[in-house]
Structure 1
Amino acid sequence: MLALIEESWLIAAIGLAGGVLLGLAARLGRFCTLGMIEDAHYGNDRARLWMWALALGVAILGNFTAEAVGLIRLGDTIYLRNDYSLIGAALGGLLFGYGMAHAGNCGYGMLARLGGGDLRAMVIAIVMGIAAYVTLSGPLAALRARLFPIDPNPVMEQGWAHLIEAALGIPAGIMAGLIGLGLAGAAALALIRAKRLTEIFWACVAGFAITSGFVGTALVAANGFEPWAVQSHTFTASVGDTIRYTMFSSGLEPDFAIGSVLGVVIGAFLGTLIRDGFRWEACDDPRELKRQMGGAVLMGVGAVLAAGCSVGQGLGALSLLSFHAPIVAGMIWLGGWLGLRHLIEGVSLVRQA
């Protein structure tokens, strides 16, 4: 395969394929982080929470099975080979979650809405991508690096399963397999009881897409000639990467992030055609757009501090059983709940007064 196609295009194709699956899952399976939090707190519906748990279980099983058969060394992934700041993880997750609620969706959800014709989502995604780059390598980069340093050479893999293996001798794959089977089994059973079989399928698709990113990039990195990062889907700085590539593609190479972003848009577009037909939408309320753009800035900054978004950390890093992922995921949930509470209950209190 590497003899037939340049490594950069192959990496981008791997991202594109997984992105299409995630885009379809968003439009046809209603796979959504903010929707999950809103349903759980205000809709008395746990279906999307069980979907997320099932996708996570499938990704855990896929990742550690791939390691067991020699397709990947999970310690080479960006989430396990770097020691991130715990304070940055907590603060970044909180900012991201709160911004997600005010923006109306996470980066992944924005791309899915863009694929359905929502022009507001395009504006919000661009603002989010620029804010991420301002924090990652722009004017705020030096301050971020000083306040929230990252150790790129920790003494061991930054994951719970690998820590238990080192301390107790229990193979990481066995510990992860038990966790993955438990999550997937409990979630699938709950969805079966609720007669939500479609959600089971799309949750499995989402989990497979996460594993495909890690395994695909690992295989190219191991067999190619360039030092590719072993990574999977995340949708904040990746949007900034796509904007940069769109402007300067003659001097840049495509990569996984760009393929992933385009894949979600394409998958969501196809899903929209299948589900209810494509149609353009625009913003008719400037105040709402201003609030959403402010939320996008918080998401961009927060995701860089947390080293990932609701998908990058909430599925990708968490499916590796990373040390920091539970903190980020929990704070994203908390921030999302606080943001929704402000928007929903805050508005109602003003009207009552």
Structure 2
Amino acid sequence: MIITGLLLGAALGYVLQRSRFCVTGAFRDLYLARSTRYFTPFLLAIAIQAVGVAALTGIGVIAPEPASFAPLAVIGGGLLFGVGIVLAGGCATGTYYRAAEGLVGSWIALIFYALFAAVMKYGPLGGFTEAARSRTVGDATVHETLGVSVWVPTVVFAGIVGALVVRELRRSSGRKVAALPPRRTGLGHYLADIPWSPWVGGVLLGLIAIAAWVLSTAAGRNGGLGITTPSAKAVTFLTTGDATLVDWSVMLVLGILVGSFAAAKLSGEFRWRTPDSATILRSAGGGVVMGIGAALAGGCTIGNSLVETSLFSYQGWVSLVAIMAGTWAAAWFLLVRPQRAARGTARPAPVLSPVA
């Protein structure tokens, strides 16, 4: 049954590549451009998954277990992860699908991300991570604290997201997107020629996240989409040969590479691109910080910001805020501050006065 992880991962990779859906861009654009073009569809994906998970839990198909809340680890790890994704140029899934497009910098970020996630979870720093994440407090979920059904926060959140979706659609109703001449006809044109809108990416991401719960449970793993732990497992398997580590989730992340590579090849967007030395160092550093942060926080922008939020766990929502804060801080330091400094040191052109 773990082969279903590969198939679902391939579908996820295809959707991410065609819709250019990267949570890093959603968080960064919210701060730099005050744009919700990708952020609102991301919230929609959470809402879709939340409704699906609540329904499947109610009829006994799945039995999700929200993560315990370790505030110091979650906040600190989330901040680090937010900084790391700006350095690396993409979140965990963004790094996977861009690596499959031929970006060597993303391969470097991906390798260091997986390596340091393995170091923090299964390697010499595993004890530190375990100790940090063992300092838990209070309840695990919002509805547990309120003493209500999970449907209460689900319905409230879905209503809020619905209002935001309507608002965003109204704002973008007059926006026109330039279209390239079609290279194919029929279904192939829609699958490979034209870019998919963020709304398509958000809806499909939410549906894939629901399917992940069902297929993963059938394969003997109680969980939804996840990137950090399976990436760490893949590295640990390569270094130890422990075949028990290769489970449904590992097949999922391998499938992301397969699906995004197929999408990039069909759309003509695949080509090898080698960055300069400064970008290589920045990508490597970003991967290191991403791996450390995700391990401490208990997940990345998928495991926490998409999956745990749909369970209304404190880990998911606090991590989401922390990752956004880290993203914004890194964007200010690496993008906004240098631009302001450059404008401040630029000398104005001399004004020539007329000769009497």
Structure 1 unaligned spans of 5+? 1-9, 222-227
The structure 1 residue matched to 2:23, chosen from 25, 29, 33, is 33
Deviation of 1:191 after TM superposition, in Å, equals 4.2
Correspondence for 2:150? 172
Correspondence for 1:224? none
The structure 2 residue matched to 1:15, chosen from 5, 28, 37, is 5
Matched, 1:186 2:163: yes
Q: Residue 161 of structure 1: SS of its match in structure 2?
A: helix
Q: What RMSD in Å do the two structures reach over aligned CA positions?
A: 2.3
Q: Residue 324 of structure 1: SS of its match in structure 2?
A: helix
The structure 2 residue matched to 1:270, chosen from 257, 262, 268, is 262
Correspondence for 1:343? 334
Matched, 1:60 2:55: no
**Structure 2 CA distance, aligned partners of 1:199 and 1:332?**
21
Correspondence for 1:198? 197
Q: How does 1:203-242 map to 2 (within 5 A)?
A: 203-221=202-220, 228=221, 230-242=222-234
Correspondence for 2:249? 257
Matched, 1:326 2:317: yes
* Identity between Structure 1 and Structure 2 (%): 23
Deviation of 1:289 after TM superposition, in Å, equals 1.3
Q: Residue 163 of structure 2: SS of its match in structure 1?
A: helix
Correspondence for 1:7? none
TM-score (norm 2): 0.83
Matched, 1:45 2:27: no
Matched, 1:311 2:293: no
- Using the TM superposition, name which of 13-22 and 255-264 deviates more: 13-22
Correspondence for 2:110? 125
1:89–1:324 CA contact under 8 A, matched in 2 = yes
Deviation of 1:94 after TM superposition, in Å, equals 0.3
Q: Residue 16 of structure 1: SS of its match in structure 2?
A: helix
Distance 1:163 1:52, change over 3 A: same
Amino acid at match of 2:11: L
Distance 1:188 1:275, change over 3 A: farther
The structure 1 residue matched to 2:143, chosen from 151, 154, 161, is 161
Correspondence for 1:4? none
2:121–2:232 CA contact under 8 A, matched in 1 = no
Tell me how many residue pairs correspond in the alignment: 322
**Structure 1 CA distance, aligned partners of 2:142 and 2:69?**
14
Deviation of 1:246 after TM superposition, in Å, equals 4.5
Deviation of 1:133 after TM superposition, in Å, equals 1.4
Correspondence for 1:112? 97
1:102–1:291 CA contact under 8 A, matched in 2 = yes
**Structure 2 CA distance, aligned partners of 1:183 and 1:245?**
43
**Structure 2 CA distance, aligned partners of 1:56 and 1:16?**
22
TM-score (norm 1): 0.83
**Structure 2 CA distance, aligned partners of 1:176 and 1:220?**
29
Q: For residues 30-49 of structure 1, what are the alpha-carbon distances to aligned partners after superposition, in whole Å with 9 as ceiling and x for unaligned?
A: 21111112222223421101
Distance 1:147 1:172, change over 3 A: closer
Amino acid at match of 2:143: A
Matched, 1:99 2:81: no
Matched, 1:87 2:67: no
Deviation of 1:180 after TM superposition, in Å, equals 4.5
Q: Residue 227 of structure 2: SS of its match in structure 1?
A: coil
**Structure 1 CA distance, aligned partners of 2:3 and 2:14?**
17
Deviation of 1:28 after TM superposition, in Å, equals 1.4
2:69–2:138 CA contact under 8 A, matched in 1 = no
Q: For residues 320-352 of structure 1, what are the alpha-carbon distances to aligned partners after superposition, in whole Å with 9 as ceiling and x for unaligned?
A: 111221110000000001111111123224434
1:125–1:239 CA contact under 8 A, matched in 2 = no
**Structure 2 CA distance, aligned partners of 1:217 and 1:68?**
18
Deviation of 1:148 after TM superposition, in Å, equals 3.6
**Structure 2 CA distance, aligned partners of 1:27 and 1:346?**
31
2:72–2:132 CA contact under 8 A, matched in 1 = no
Structure 2 unaligned spans of 5+? 176-195, 346-356
Distance 1:343 1:144, change over 3 A: same
1:161–1:176 CA contact under 8 A, matched in 2 = yes
Distance 1:251 1:171, change over 3 A: closer
Deviation of 1:217 after TM superposition, in Å, equals 2.1
1:54–1:183 CA contact under 8 A, matched in 2 = no
Deviation of 1:67 after TM superposition, in Å, equals 1.0
